[in-house]
Amino acid sequence: MASMSRRVFLKCVGAAALAVTASGIFAGCSEEGGGSKNTVYGANETVQINGVNVKLLGYQQGFGSEIAGNYADKTLIAICFGLDNQSEKAIQMGNTAQDKLSDVWKAIKNNKFDTLGESEFVVVAKDKKLGHAAIGFSRMTPNAGIGDILGAGFLGTLEPQKSGCIKIYAIVPSDWEQIGIQYTPYFAPNETRSFVLNRSNQL
C-alpha cells in the first residue's frame, strides 16, 4: 500500500492550513485508504519503522539568538525526533559524510539551506516547503548538544538497543501554527511516515 506522495502531501497541507488538529491537517490526503503509512502522528506518538521506534518530541526555539539577523522576519526552530533502535543491527541516521558537517552548520548559521543536498525530511507550513537541515545526536533528548553529535553529523550509526535524536533546524514563518513533516529514513528508504507539529509543542 503506497504512502502519500510528496506532491499530494504538499497540496494537502496547504488545503488544510487552518486545521487545528492532527487529523484535520491531512484530511483526505491519502492516495490509498487506510494503513499505518497514511496515519498522521502527533507529538509524543510513537511509530515503529523496521524495528526502530520513532517519536516526534517537539521543538526548541531561542537557541540561535546570535544568528537572528540572518533570518529577517523568519524564525529558526529545531524540530526534535527521538529514535530508539530496537532492531538487531545498527542503522544509518543519514547520508552526509563527516567532513561535510561544517557545511551543514554554516548553512544553518547563514540561512543557506539551499546549499545542502536532499534530506530525508520534507517540512511544510502554509503550503510551502521550508528550508531545513538535519543533524543526528547520540542521545534521545532535546538537550543533546554539540558534544553529542552522532558520528559527527548525518552519517552516524545508531547501534542496537541505543537511542538517538535527530534535530531538524528549520526556518518557519513567525506566525506559524502548524507544520507538516514527512520522514523517509535512510535506514528504511521505502517507508515514509507523516507527522504534524503544533506551536504548542514547544519543549
Q: What is the mean pLDDT of the chain?
A: 73
pLDDT band at 109 (very low <50, low <70, confident <90, very high): confident
The answer, yes or no, to whether residue 194 has pLDDT greater than 80, is: yes
Q: Output the pTM of the full model.
A: 0.74
Which residue in the block uniquely carries the three cell numbers 514527512?
Answer: 182
**What residue ranges define each of the domains in the chain, with the CATH number in brackets?**
6-201 (2.60.40.1240)
Among 20-34, 139-153, 160-174, the least confident range: 20-34
User: How far is Cα 52 from Cα 45, in angstroms, rounded to an integer?
Assistant: 13
DSSP class of 116: S
Q: Which three-class secondary structure state does DSSP give residue 166?
A: strand
pLDDT digits over 25-47, tens only? 444 344 333 335 678 999 999 99
Residues 17, 195, 14: CA angle, nearest 5 degrees? 20
Alpha-carbon span 149 to 159, nearest angstrom = 14
